[in-house]
């Protein structure tokens, strides 16, 4: 073993919820308008730093290019953070896609380097790769235990999780961000017809929530 390896702090695995989120269409934005995209990036960074401070249950929110990594011991903190990320992204004409999973996670920061070995990160990445719509999916390892009828007592806009088209997703809406979210996505659909299918999916979800559908299996 080298002296550098021996001097490293050990990677200690612990149970964590991990969310891996990508900004849809970010590469196209960079190519089309790098100066404008840089300004948008700084805007999102500032807003997401505010979210990091707001949710004390979140251990960390890290941003790598167009990806966001959220780590916490508490599922509720991750879900609240993801909902807020979706809100701030859509307010800036961006949609998100990703996954959330639970399991053994180890990381260390040393000598300006970040090292991560994580089961939930791998699982969350697998979920993200299967999703073709602007949604944050939940891996089975991260699903909370509850009776479905318990959700029926909670107004749909206030739920953390929704079941839509055969998958559990993080609710992108809230009481303050409902109709305006639908209106903004309608505008994006008109401005970017090449991504119409993704916007149509989001609008169908909005209409289902608005109608008061049960949105449980």
Write phi, then psi, for 190 (nearest 5 degrees): -75, -35
> Does any domain span residue 148?
yes
pTM: 0.88
What tens digit of pLDDT does each residue of 173-186 get?
Answer: 887 776 788 888 99
Range of the domain at 69: 13-210
Write phi, then psi, for 28 (nearest 5 degrees): -65, -35
> Does any domain span residue 58?
yes
> Does any domain span residue 161?
yes
Please give the Cα distance from 74 to 81 (Å, whole number): 11
> Does any domain span residue 3?
no
Instruction: Give the total number of structural domains in the chain.
Output: 1
CATH of the domain at 206: 3.30.70.1230
Please give the Cα distance from 162 to 201 (Å, whole number): 14
> Does any domain span residue 1?
no
pLDDT by 10s per residue, the chain, length 217: 444 555 777 888 899 999 999 988 877 777 888 888 888 888 887 877 776 666 666 767 787 778 889 999 999 989 988 998 888 888 888 899 999 999 999 988 877 788 889 999 999 999 999 999 999 999 999 999 887 888 888 888 889 999 999 999 999 988 777 678 888 899 999 988 988 999 999 999 999 998 988 999 8
> Does any domain span residue 2?
no
Please give the Cα distance from 215 to 175 (Å, whole number): 17
3-class DSSP state of 60:
strand
Burial group, residue 157, by CB count within 10 angstroms (0-12, 13-18, 19+) = middle
> Does any domain span residue 8?
no
């Amino acid at each position: 073993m080298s002296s550098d390896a021996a001097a490293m702090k050990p990677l200690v695995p612990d149970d964590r919820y991990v969310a891996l989120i990508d900004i849809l269409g970010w590469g196209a934005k960079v190519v089309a308008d790098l100066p404008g995209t840089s300004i948008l990036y700084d805007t999102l960074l500032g807003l997401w730093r505010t979210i990091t401070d707001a949710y004390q249950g979140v251990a960390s929110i890290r941003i790598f290019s167009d990806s966001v990594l959220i780590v916490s011991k508490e599922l509720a903190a991750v879900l609240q953070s993801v909902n807020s990320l979706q809100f701030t992204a859509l307010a800036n004409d961006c949609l998100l896609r990703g996954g959330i999973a639970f399991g053994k996670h180890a990381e260390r920061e040393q000598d300006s380097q970040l090292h991560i070995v994580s089961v939930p990160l791998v699982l969350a990445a697998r979920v993200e790769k299967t999703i073709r719509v602007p949604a944050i999916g939940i891996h089975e390892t991260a699903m909370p235990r509850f009776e479905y009828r318990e959700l029926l007592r909670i107004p749909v806009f206030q739920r953390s999780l929704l079941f839509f088209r055969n998958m559990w997703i993080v609710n992108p809406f809230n009481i303050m961000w409902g109709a305006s979210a639908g209106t903004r996505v309608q505008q994006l659909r008109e401005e970017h017809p090449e991504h119409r299918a993704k916007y149509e999916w989001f609008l169908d979800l909005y209409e289902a929530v608005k109608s008061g559908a049960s949105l449980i299996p």
